[in-house]
């Protein structure tokens, strides 16, 4: 998975290389092979994307999901072809899924998952790792034997939970609540879309238990240039380094960063480390 935030021109320039690296990483993930002991492991259980463009004229939202693996799906060109008019700001998130054991594999559970906040705003989430689905169902008062519980995955219910907590923006307190529900990792990209602005959160929390192999799999990289910041899963950078002039640094475990995009301006409003 990766999250890109920046000027529309910068996002447009970097996206093809990031997508190419993601496709390769999804097909063969050496970090995943080392952690799970499976030479055949791949992120084959579907993929999805969301792109948002904002400028003084308004907003454009594009997104899609597919249950076909990202490295076999001809529609991979869709996010490459989205027009991002110059002068504005853009967000692009793409996720290739390797479903956790016991989770449904269908278009409903393919990322990005979506929820609607109490104020009617749209929330999109991509997520690597596993959160406590049973506890989320209990909190949301959803019958674990219902059709809804069976056809949606943990990330979907995490999105519904976060949407209930969100009033006007995303903040670290909301992320902290999600961290408390983490079973393996909460590597996430979140976009909250409002009428005239958007909020974006990205970051990583994982339970490594002093396990270096686990850390290598779940760690997130952050890269930044003058008009672009990217958060990327480790395999993309460690094995399929994108052809982008950017310096990658490992994000500290537990760090999440939140941005507000309004008109043609991007501000980082929060950055902090969450521990439990």
Q: Is the backbone peptide bond immediately before 92 cis, with ω within 30 degrees of 0?
A: no
Q: What is the pLDDT of residues 9-67, one digit of tens each?
A: 999 999 999 999 999 999 999 998 998 887 667 788 899 999 999 998 899 999 999 99
- CATH number of this structure's domain 2-273, picked from the four choices 3.90.1570.10, 3.30.70.260, 3.40.1080.10, 3.60.20.10: 3.60.20.10
- pTM assigned to the model: 0.96
Q: What is the pLDDT of residues 157-209, one digit of tens each?
A: 999 999 999 989 999 999 999 999 999 999 999 999 998 899 999 999 999 87
Residue 107, phi then psi, degrees to nearest 5: -70, -25
Q: What is the pLDDT of residues 78-113, one digit of tens each?
A: 999 999 999 899 999 999 998 877 788 899 989 999
Chain Cα centroid distance, residue 181:
17
């Amino acid at each position: 998975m990766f999250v890109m935030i920046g000027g529309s021109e910068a996002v447009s320039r970097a996206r093809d290389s990031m997508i190419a690296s993601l496709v390769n990483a999804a097909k063969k993930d050496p970090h995943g092979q080392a952690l799970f002991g499976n030479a055949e492991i791949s992120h084959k259980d579907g993929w999805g994307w969301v792109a948002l463009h904002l400028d003084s004229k308004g907003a454009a939202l594009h997104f899609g999901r597919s249950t076909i693996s990202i490295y076999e799906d001809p529609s991979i060109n869709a996010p490459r072809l989205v027009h991002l008019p110059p002068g504005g700001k853009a967000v692009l998130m793409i996720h290739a899924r390797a479903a956790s054991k016991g989770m449904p594999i269908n278009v409903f559970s393919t990322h990005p998952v979506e929820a609607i906040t109490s104020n009617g705003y749209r929330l999109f989430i991509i997520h690597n790792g596993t959160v406590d689905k049973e506890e989320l169902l209990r909190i949301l008062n959803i019958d674990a034997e219902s059709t809804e519980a069976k056809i949606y995955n943990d990330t979907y219910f995490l999105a519904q939970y976060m949407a209930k907590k969100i009033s006007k923006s995303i903040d670290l307190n909301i992320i902290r609540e999600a961290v408390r529900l983490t079973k393996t990792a909460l590597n996430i990209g979140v976009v909250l879309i409002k009428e005239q602005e958007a909020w974006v959160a990205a970051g990583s929390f994982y339970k490594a238990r002093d396990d270096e192999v686990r850390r290598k799999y779940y760690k997130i990289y952050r890269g930044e240039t003058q008009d672009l910041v990217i958060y990327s899963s480790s395999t993309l950078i460690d094995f399929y380094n994108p052809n982008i002039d950017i310096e990658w640094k490992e994000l500290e475990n537990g760090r999440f960063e939140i941005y507000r995009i309004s008109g043609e301006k991007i501000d980082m409003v929060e950055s902090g480390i969450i521990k439990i």
